[in-house]
A and B are shown apart, each in its own frame.
Chain A
Amino acid sequence: MSTTELSLAGSQPGGLGRYNRQAADLHYVTSRVMVYLLAFTAVSVIGFPLFWMVICSFKTSTELYQFPPAFLPHDWTLTNYRDLFIQTNFPIYFVNSLVVAGGATLLSLVVGGLGAYSLSRFKFAGMRTVSMLTLLCYMLPEVLLVIPLYLFVVDLGMADTLISLIIANTAFTLPLTMWFMRSYFNAIPASLEESAMIDGCSRFQAMRKVTLPLALPGLVSVGVFSFNHAWNEFLFALVFTSSETKKVLSLGLATWIGQDNIYSWGMLLAGAVLVTIPVVLFYLLVQRRLVVGLSEGGVKGE
């Protein structure tokens, strides 16, 4: 009885009830402070190196070696970027990386997506074995695969080609794509496709018009993963390609770091910034889809 009187005391008759989030609410304030502190720590730990990389790429080389370092560059300069494009093969590396990462992503989405779809929707002999084997493949480390794969690549006359890198990268990301997408497809009720078929779709149309849009968030996450992996991949690139025109960014930039000296810190940093940009752009592009898809719970039948 007393509690109801208490809560009613603070409210005007006919108006709103007691306001539950008064600033004096100590618990509320402390929890806010904690959240911001945590967020600040996380952002600075992850963000500062990125920030420093960007800032330094605009510094002149004298300023780069200056001690103590200045926080912001005294003279902002684009020389590092200009040199990158004029003095080095950076543009070639960049295009090669885009081709390899884009190709591997596309291939692993198409092959992995279709494979996962059939594993999820059809029953066939040896299905369990196939799915277990793909998972087993994922367990094998890259170092173990690279030499046998290289022998194949040479035998097929694909040594020093971008195709070999696309295939190798796809082979590496495919098992994960399949497993992830299979559980994604499993969560989409088969009755949706059946309904689409009764409504007049062929099996393929039903998949394209109903299942695929619903699986889009899953495909996006898998795509981001594949792209990222291929973009950063180093070992296959090192073993499979050798000529300057076939180098990808990870390999190309690494060769600038010589045995005992760095060719140019400024250019390396400018290169690093440009390497990061596509990944960030890609994330920004798909991030909305990813978040919307996950929060919409689009796969729920009802």
Chain B
Amino acid sequence: MALVEVKQITKKFGAYSAISNVSLTAQDGKFLILLGPSGCGKTTLLRMIAGLELPTYGDIVIGGKVATRLHPKDRNIAMVFQNYALYPHLTIYENVAFPLRVRGFSGDIDKKVKWATSLVGIEHLLERKPRQMSGGERQRTALARSLVRDPSVFLLDEPLSNLDAKLRHSAREELRQFQERIGVTSIYVTHDQVEAMGLGDRICVMQGGVVRQLGTPEEIYLNPADTFVASFIGSPPMNLISDEGRTIGFRPEMFLPESAFDPSEALYRTEFTVQRIEYLGGDRILYGMVGASLPSSKAIARLPATIGTLPEVGTTAKFAMRLSDIRYFDGEGKAVEQSRRHEARLVVNG
């Protein structure tokens, strides 16, 4: 177990900066998620922590030791690759035993392999070759191989992206329980915000090679640091409405018919013209236009099944949200402190 610190890392491929001045810390024994759209540099950052790429500027510190120029084998990290990178010519047993054998492990290799494979539930498949395994089994093999030698840091690059949706869900649960049990510092890369919210102790939202926000899933969901995070997290994403050089944001699930609120609450009231309704399991997603006090613009509302009466398509209904659920962003898209003044002004307008 170890603390991983990324200190002012920049990575350039030629003139192109894949990572620009990123600093972050993965806390000891915790699960850190690197979340961002495809191409934002998550894999590159992970590969630098693993020692597969040399950062152009900055340092990687693992367990208090500067590891920037250390060979991957000397970092005591384990990594699960996106394609699992199982050795096709070796059996599952030999795949899992591989890290022990090359490190000249002196103890009982057989016992270790049995332990690691039974931990992920593939102990009955040891004689198979990787190509005779399903996607889920390969993923477990990769996990078993990476934890067989008690690494101090665990790196995972989109390990669930090759699984089908149902398996992905159960694998996510298992992975989380598993990490809690072995309590090893883990850095997990994903572009799937649902996965990130479900797994992480902390999430680092990245975009274009920079860190946009670092925080718990709750913080990131409730108080996005900028409009990018606001629109990347949540499904559907936060409604963002530009108004006089600033942006107002509110979550679709907080934007409900006025009748759903207690009249004594501090509400911001507006009108919502419904254009389309989508049925999504229990919830209904309403697409339409807000108007009245706000500049007329597109918005989405997500109504839980508990709200019985839906406005009809084409009609304009009275909608509202709690003042405390409204977020404000400045002209550059950065979040600004919620101030009483703004709220007051909105209330007067409303």
A197 touches B138 (CB 8 A): no
For window 98-154 of B, CB contacts with A under 8 Å fall at 98-99, 102-103, 130-131, 135, 138, 145, 149
Given contacts A194-B72, A302-B131, A302-B138, contact A201 B102 (CB under 8 A): yes
Given contacts A298-B88, A298-B89, A302-B130, contact A200 B103 (CB under 8 A): yes
Q: Answer yes or no: B176 CB below 8 A from chain A CBs.
A: no
State the CA gap A302–B136 with chains docked (Å): 12
A197 touches B52 (CB 8 A): yes
Q: Answer yes or no: B69 CB below 8 A from chain A CBs.
A: no
For window 78-94 of B, CB contacts with A under 8 Å fall at 78-79, 81, 83-89
A131 CB to closest chain B CB, in angstroms? 21
State the CA gap A192–B83 with chains docked (Å): 10
Among B51, B52, B79, B83, point to the contact of A302 (Cβ < 8 A).
B83
Among A189, A197, A213, A298, point to the contact of B71 (Cβ < 8 A).
A197
Q: Mark A202-229, 1 if CB is under 8 A from B, else 0.
A: 1001000110011000000000000000
B83 touches A191 (CB 8 A): yes
B83 touches A189 (CB 8 A): yes
Chain A residues with Cβ under 8 A from B81's Cβ? 191, 194-195
State the CA gap A198–B87 with chains docked (Å): 13
B139 CB to closest chain A CB, in angstroms? 11
Among B71, B77, B131, B145, point to the contact of A202 (Cβ < 8 A).
B71
Q: Answer yes or no: B62 CB below 8 A from chain A CBs.
A: no
The residue in chain A whose Cβ has the minimal distance to the Cβ of B102 is A200
A76 CB to closest chain B CB, in angstroms? 47
Chain B residues with Cβ under 8 A from A128's Cβ? none
Q: Answer yes or no: A135 CB below 8 A from chain B CBs.
A: no
Among B79, B103, B130, B162, point to the contact of A195 (Cβ < 8 A).
B79
The residue in chain A whose Cβ has the minimal distance to the Cβ of B148 is A199
Interface centre among A205, A210, A298, A302 (most CB of B within 10 A): A302
Interface centre among B85, B98, B138 (most CB of A within 10 A): B85
Given contacts A191-B83, A301-B83, contact A199 B88 (CB under 8 A): no
Given contacts A214-B89, A300-B131, contact A199 B145 (CB under 8 A): yes
- Inter-chain residue pair count (beta carbon < 8 A): 79
A300 touches B50 (CB 8 A): no
Chain A residues with Cβ under 8 A from B102's Cβ? 196, 199-201, 205, 209
For window 111-138 of A, CB contacts with B under 8 Å fall at none
Chain A at the B interface: SS class:
helix
B72 touches A210 (CB 8 A): no
State the CA gap A127–B91 with chains docked (Å): 36
B48 CB to closest chain A CB, in angstroms? 13
State the CA gap A297–B72 with chains docked (Å): 28
Q: Answer yes or no: B65 CB below 8 A from chain A CBs.
A: no
Given contacts A205-B102, A302-B84, contact A198 B89 (CB under 8 A): no
Given contacts A191-B83, A297-B131, contact A197 B88 (CB under 8 A): no
Q: Answer yes or no: B73 CB below 8 A from chain A CBs.
A: yes
Chain B residues with Cβ under 8 A from A272's Cβ? none
For window 244-302 of A, CB contacts with B under 8 Å fall at 296-302
State the CA gap A202–B74 with chains docked (Å): 10
B71 touches A196 (CB 8 A): no
B83 touches A198 (CB 8 A): no
The residue in chain A whose Cβ has the minimal distance to the Cβ of B105 is A200
The residue in chain B whose Cβ has the minimal distance to the Cβ of A299 is B88
Chain A residues with Cβ under 8 A from B88's Cβ? 192, 214, 296, 298-301
Among A189, A198, A300, A301, point to the contact of B72 (Cβ < 8 A).
A198
Chain A residues with Cβ under 8 A from B52's Cβ? 194, 197-198
State the CA gap A149–B189 with chains docked (Å): 57
Chain A residues with Cβ under 8 A from B138's Cβ? 302
A196 CB to closest chain B CB, in angstroms? 7
Chain A residues with Cβ under 8 A from B103's Cβ? 199-200
B38 CB to closest chain A CB, in angstroms? 18
Chain B residues within 8 Å of A, Cβ to Cβ: 50-52, 71-73, 75, 77-79, 81, 83-89, 98-99, 102-103, 130-131, 135, 138, 145, 149, 162
Apart from A195-B87, A209-B102, A301-B86, list 20 A-B contacts with CB within 8 A. Answer: A189-B83, A191-B83, A192-B87, A194-B72, A195-B81, A195-B85, A197-B51, A197-B73, A198-B52, A198-B75, A201-B73, A202-B71, A210-B89, A214-B88, A296-B88, A299-B88, A300-B88, A302-B86, A302-B130, A302-B162
List 5 tightest A-B contacts by C-beta distance, closest first.
A195-B85, A199-B99, A200-B103, A200-B102, A191-B85
A–B pairs, 6, beta carbons within 8 Å: A194-B72, A197-B51, A198-B50, A199-B145, A300-B88, A302-B138
Chain A residues within 8 Å of B, Cβ to Cβ: 189, 191-192, 194-202, 205, 209-210, 213-214, 296-302
